[in-house]
Structure 1
Amino acid sequence: MYEITTLFSKISRTLVRGITALAISTVMISTAAADIPTTYNNSCAACHDSGALGAIKKGDSTGWQQIIKQKGMPALVKSVKGGMIQMPAGGLCDNCSDDDYRKLIDYMSK
């Protein structure tokens, strides 16, 4: 009986640690990319503020609407994730989700 209780206790502690680690990492990831203006400033602004390397400038709503219409949002997000000739994969955002990329594109288009 002692062995079963000890084993159950070890499994419980391991499970609690795993769930805690998962919860902490989920919060860290979601908060890291959740603040779109900060994420933009840390990853996109280097090119999209100035239009460097042919990047569509933030606030150029006509340019953004044209490319969104031309490619479609899913393909545009896929391009960002995979990188383009001038832009590294992920657009310098290591922890952005597809939803974050959509929000960033929307943010830049206004």
Structure 2
Amino acid sequence: MRSLLKTVAKTSRTLGGSVTAVMLSGMLMSSPAMADIATTYENSCATCHDSGALGAIKKGDSAGWAKLKQQKGMPALVSSVKNGMIQMPAGGLCDECSDDDYRQLIDYMSQ
């Protein structure tokens, strides 16, 4: 993020303040890929994955996550999150997440 802000500052000197304001506001409202994955986890996945509610594999259960990753594979896990399951709403409470965000979140929970 720091390098991104440096680029914006450099662009500001070249293009002017109003363009910079538009660029910066767009960056601040972009997908969670720009945000810290831990914050995204806390705002969405933690609701169930911290406690194991509704049978969710808990964050940090590396053996459980490894088994699930081996059984289903990452593409199927991402698909399950996107489409939802009986116990999990579509998107897993992260409506703005991309496929890459979901992969990062799954990896984060499995650590």
* Alignment TM-score > 0.5, same fold: yes
Structure 2 counterpart of 1:88: 89
Query: How much does 1:34 deviate?
Result: 2.8
Change (3 A) 1:86 1:31: closer
Amino acid aligned to 1:62: A
Structure 1 counterpart of 2:68: 67
Report if the CA contact (8 A) 1:56-1:63 is conserved. Answer: yes
Partner SS for 1:34: coil
Change (3 A) 1:26 1:48: same
TM-score, reference length from structure 2? 0.74
TM-score, reference length from structure 1? 0.74
- String of CA shifts for 1:11-54, please: whole Å, max 9, x gaps: xxxxxx9xx58x85465223576310000000000100000000
Structure 2 counterpart of 1:10: none
Structure 2 counterpart of 1:104: 105
Change (3 A) 1:46 1:33: farther
Change (3 A) 1:31 1:66: closer
Q: Does 1:39 align with 2:40?
A: yes
Backbone CA RMSD of aligned residues = 2.0
Larger radius of gyration: 1
Question: How many residues of Structure 1 are paired with residues of Structure 2 in the alignment?
Answer: 91
Long gaps (5+) in structure 1: 1-16
Structure 2 counterpart of 1:76: 77
Long gaps (5+) in structure 2: 1-18
Change (3 A) 1:97 1:54: same
Change (3 A) 1:71 1:32: closer
Greater share of residues in helix: 1
Report if the CA contact (8 A) 1:33-1:100 is conserved. Answer: no
Percent of aligned positions with the same letter in both sequences? 73
Moved more, 80-89 or 24-33: 24-33
